[in-house]
Amino acid sequence: MGQKRIQDYPAVAVASEDVEGMVDFSVFFGRSAPVEMEIGSGKGTFLVSQAAAFPEINFFGIEWANKYYRYAVDRIGRKGTGNIRLIRTDAASFIQRHIPDASIRVFHLYFPDPWPKKRHHKRRFFCHENLDQIFRILEPGGIINIATDHADYFEQMTAVARHAIGQGRFDEVPFIRPAGAQEGEVVGTNYERKYLREGRKTHTLALRKR
């Protein structure tokens, strides 16, 4: 059998070069609805299951790796899921330049690249500067939902979160288990299933904007 042909679905894919200024999600989705954002959408496992479970919510994903981005667009398009949009771009820069204040209800970050070498730690997405931006784009009462298998990165995440909590910007809250998580799973992504087979522990963190 031949390899499945990956198709493009313009109704799903957002071209980064077409985005100017702050985005209008009602234009992206063709309707006004609460927006949830995922950084590092991979093959779209979380987005597909969550969007199916919550059709009244708009889901916006950002993925940098072209291979995974194209696969996710194809997967979402084939399923005909109308409440997902996906863009291939650098997440930190795009958020800073294009996501409006108080426009995101929930921010999802699952198994981000841990950049394990110490000299690469500055590339980790979850840091003070990016948390400042997430705080800006979250609605009042908005949630950050995070999971990682990397203990050292989780230690950094916790330190960054505690600093923001100490500033009175966030409260720590229970992690919200996504709809696609099966028995024994925390999130239900491809990465988590791989890590479970390898015996790795998943660490979770959730924050609510004050």
Distance CA(83)–CA(30), nearest Å, equals 9
Which helix (H) or strand (E) segment is 191 a member of?
Answer: helix 190-197
Q: Is 113 a catalytic residue?
A: yes
Q: Which two tokens stand for residue 45?
A: 């496992």
- Which one of the listed residues 113, 132, 149, 152 is annotated catalytic? 113
Q: What is the DSSP string of 68-90?
A: HHHHHHHHHHHHT-TTEEEE-S-
Distance CA(46)–CA(93), nearest Å, equals 23
Sheet holding 13-14, edge to edge: 13-14, 84-87, 58-62, 35-39, 104-110, 138-148, 203-209, 170-172
CA-wise closest residue to 142 among 111, 178, 180, 101: 101
Place of tokens 């980064």: 16
Residues identified as active-site: 113
